Amino acid sequence: MDGVDIELTADGSHTLFIPALDEHYHSTNGAIQESKHVYIETGLHYCRKSYVTIFEIGFGTGLNAYLTLEDTINTDKKIQYLSIEANPLPCKVVEKLNYPNQLNAVDADLFVKLHEAAWNKTVKITQDFSLTKIEADLTQFDFNFIPGIDLVYFDAFAPDKQPEMWSQEIFDYLYSLMNDDAILVTYCAKGEVRRRMQHSGFMVERLPGPPGKREMLRAIKQSGNAQ
């Protein structure tokens, strides 16, 4: 994808800016800080299962996948990571991202491995982490998707930039693919998004957001809650 600028955020980690959309991939207050807070600490750490199927909306820089991998290495968690992306980033952008350095990663090659993994195939990144990158547009609903999701990382661009990603139809669809007690987390805390999630059947909590953001949302598909 052309027309992407690499920028430094307040915690020293990179993010991307799309001038045509006037939108960043992450918080300018700290990309790693935001992703860790929203997806790892409020999502992954809240999930008590040992085998976790994660569905990410927007693979982008691969930061959430990388943080998930780093967080679960040498633990008893086994991760099946599915991620959909409509516009994969070119290698020349990915190569410049400073996430392995910023995280003092023991194995920086794992970040490369996540990006080099073929699209639309399941690839074993480590013994306990498999990755399926799906190149598709979520709003088209035209990919074969298997139900059984335990955790959704909802990381689309903001609702005012991409309203079609935050529709009732999308939340209903995600709800139908998720297991009982599955969790959905997002950086967004907009009232209309929360109400759509509730309309789909989720129990939704407003929780403290990362630095620079007052709130975020965590939605749970409660067991026995027939839609």
Ligand X SMILES: C[S@@+](CC[C@H](N)C(=O)[O-])C[C@H]1O[C@@H](n2cnc3c(N)ncnc32)[C@H](O)[C@@H]1O
Burial of residue 67 (number of CB atoms within 10 Å: 0-12, 13-18, 19+): buried
- x/- mask, ligand X, residues 47-86, rule CB under 6 A, reads -----------x-xx-xx-------------------xxx
Task: Encode 55-105 in three state secondary structure.
Answer: EEECCCCCHHHHHHHHHHCCCCCEEEEEEEECCCCCHHHHCCCCHHHHCCC
- x/- mask, ligand X, residues 25-44, rule CB under 6 A, reads x---------x---------
Pick one of 29, 126, 130, 139: the residue that binds ligand X (CB under 6 A).
139
- x/- mask, ligand X, residues 176-195, rule CB under 6 A, reads --------------------
Nearer to ligand X, 80 or 186 (CB): 186
DSSP three-state, residue 136: coil
Nearer to ligand X, 93 or 123 (CB): 93
H-helix or E-strand spanning residue 30: none
Tokens of 135: 């190149």
Give min distance, CB of 226 to ligand X, in A.
29
- Binding-site size for ligand X (CB under 6 A) equals 19
- x/- mask, ligand X, residues 86-115, rule CB under 6 A, reads xx----------------------------
Q: Does 174 bind ligand X (CB under 6 A)?
A: no
Helix, strand, coil shares of the chain as percentages rounded to 5? 30, 30, 40
- Which 208-227 residues touch ligand X, going by CB under 6 A? none
Give min distance, CB of 132 to ligand X, in A.
14
Beta strand 178-186 with 149-154: parallel, antiparallel or unpaired?
parallel
CA distances for 7 relative to 31, 99, 221, angstroms? 10, 13, 36
Residue showing tokens 């997002």: 186
Give min distance, CB of 159 to ligand X, in A.
12
Q: Does 150 bind ligand X (CB under 6 A)?
A: no
Give min distance, CB of 156 to ligand X, in A.
5
Tokens of 47: 């999930």
Q: Which residues bind ligand X (CB under 6 A)?
A: 25, 35, 58, 60-61, 63-64, 84-87, 137-139, 155-157, 162, 165
